[in-house]
Amino acid sequence: MERDEAAQYSNKGKIMIGSLIGAGLGAAASIIGGIKARKAAAEANRMLDQQKAENQAWYDRRYNEDATQRADAQRILQMTMDRMRRRNQAAAGTAAVMGSSTEAVAAEKQANAQALADTASQIAAAGAARKDQVENQYLANKNALTQQQIGLKNQQAGNIAQATQGASQALMGAGAAVDELGEAKKDRELYEKIWGK
């Protein structure tokens, strides 16, 4: 009987030590998990910051473009000027052959100049509309990136809370195991006093 009780107390001590080791490992795992989560969140934040910088650079470049210097606008202006030049030459040739007045040639040139001004005005209006689109897209991208960062910050806060809770629970378990180990030691001492070694 004495041996059974002694073995029981010995096993209880081993279980307590195992509990302490398990609690220590649990706390370490929580801390390591928290560190890894923090590193992953820092990398995600870096990537989001890079996307924000790229979005800003895109906006600065596109918003400040001169609409008249774009390839499509230059093509339209060049086609309009070529058409004007041909019409002015035709009007001058007709005036020379038919003997028309210089007023008719001047009127044709004025009409062509007005056509060029109208074309430039349409390009400017299209440029303003394009700037509005660029600004709207920039703001939408900026808002989406900001929402992603807010979500990431919330996730980080949750991870920290979870890691803290896991470490706390592990340490509480270790404390309980220490208490039980202390009780087992007291029981063992009492047993030895009563029954001897």
Percent of the chain with pLDDT over 90: 9
Give Cα 90 to chain centroid, integer Å: 60
Could you report the per-residue pLDDT of 77-129, keeping only the tens digit for each?
888 889 888 888 888 887 778 777 778 778 888 888 888 888 888 888 888 88
CA–CA separation, 142 and 52 (whole Å): 7
Residue 147: φ, ψ to 5° = -65, -35
- Domain, as residue range, for 35: 2-195
How far is the C-alpha of 74 from the C-alpha of 67, rounded, in Å?
9
Cβ-contact 171, 27 below 8 angstroms: yes
In this predicted structure, the answer to whether residue 1 has a pLDDT above a threshold of 50 is no
Asked if residue 152 has pLDDT above 50, the reply is: yes
Q: Which residues contact 188 (CB under 8 A, 6 or more apart)?
A: 9, 13
- Give the mean pLDDT of the chain: 75
Q: State which H helix or E strand residue 38 sits in.
A: helix 2-63
φ, ψ of residue 158 to 5 degrees: the values are -65, -40
If one counts the domains in the chain, the total is 1
Contact assessment for residue 55 and residue 141, using Cβ atoms and an 8 Å cutoff: yes
